[in-house]
Amino acid sequence: MKRRIGILTSGGDCPGLNATIRGVAKACYERFGTDDLEIVGVLNGYSGLINNECAEMKPSDFSGILTRGGTIFGTKRTPYKMMQVIGEDNIDKVKAMKETYKKQKLDCLLTLGGNGTHKTSNLLANEGLNVIGLPKTIDNDIYGTDVTFGFHTSVDIATEVIDRLHTTATSHGRCLVVEIMGNKAGWLTLYSGIAGGADIIVIPEIPYDINKLCEAVERRNREKKAFSIIAVAEGAYDTDEANMKKRERAKKRAEEGITTATSRIAKQIEANTGMEARVCVPGHMLRGGSPSAYDRVLATKFGVRAAQLIAKEKYGYTVAMVDTVVKENKLEDIAGKTKFVPADGQLVKTAKDIGIAFGD
């Protein structure tokens, strides 16, 4: 029985995408044989599926990519909320994706991506396509899986950033505020903050009181610790903003002339404590480079599980890690849900027990 499999990567890139692609391909070639397997690379995410931008792949195309960052297929952000909207181009995106699936004579489609990708995957599954998801995001916020590939590598990079800030913060007696990616969930900031020895951690799940952040900085000063490292998730907001809708928060920040929580926290700490504060934004460095050993193994395990699902013709699922076991969840059970950091969870309590402040 010949199988023809499509693979796409969608949303933000991250370390481990190529390792996962390789894991799927190698496991499928081993299981089905090179004569009975065809793999089609869908280029640039769902945009490529909409516009039928595809490439026939050979086994050799998957060699040497285990350690490579990014994605050999390219990626774009195609927001889920726009998938069922016909824009100025007059393209019915859902219809176009289904037509590409048929034109390419695919037996199934593998989608590597985060929350938005999984919502569109579920949409396509409901439209009758054979879809299998693979959980990718440095934010680690996909519901139903303990970990996503890309997360641990980004933790390592963010931790190194914080490590390096310690020497300059100590030398100058400064408060250094580092902005870590994570718009809705603070997993990356929490893990790297603890691993990097941050003094204060600010995450979206725990709205902060600026007065309490300033108190934490001043307490360190009284203890003769002339510097502070503050790890802030990009999506953090204060207790006043917690009662606002997203648009209201954006309007308030625009009126103040400070669009990010990180910049505002630095400015307020400097004004309220008299301590010099600087902002560091590693940004997309957290997404780049070679995946860690952990993520290479995880990506390979996830890829193998996807191959097993293909063999069983078990579609409409996404791969997951649950209690150290690789299994799968129904797409319909996880699509549209976000895994947030529990404000009273063990990791937050661990951080607080060693004196890390959260501003709550």
- Residue 300 CB contacts under 8 Å (≥ 6 apart), including other chains: 19, 20, 22, 23
Helix axes 210-222, 261-273, angle to 10 degrees: 50
Tokens standing for residue 206: 């725990």
- Contact status, residue 265 vs residue 210, Cβ threshold 8 Å: yes
- Residue 145 CB contacts under 8 Å (≥ 6 apart), including other chains: 135, 318, 319, 320, 321, 322, 329, 339
- Among candidate residues 11, 5, 148, the one with its CA nearest the CA of residue 76: 11
- Among candidate residues 146, 150, 126, the one with its CA nearest the CA of residue 138: 150
- Contact status, residue 310 vs residue 5, Cβ threshold 8 Å: yes
Between CA 66 and CA 63 the distance in angstroms is 8
Tokens standing for residue 114: 């985060």
Tokens standing for residue 347: 């990791």
**Beta-carbon count within 10 A of 152 CB:** 23
139 flagged as catalytic: yes
- Contact status, residue 67 vs residue 21, Cβ threshold 8 Å: no
Residue from 139, 141, 199, 295 carrying the catalytic annotation: 139
Parallel, antiparallel or unpaired: strands 175-180 and 325-330: unpaired
Cα angle value 16/118/194 (rounded, 5°): 50
**Beta-carbon count within 10 A of 254 CB:** 10
- Contact status, residue 292 vs residue 153, Cβ threshold 8 Å: yes
Q: Return the active site residues.
A: 139
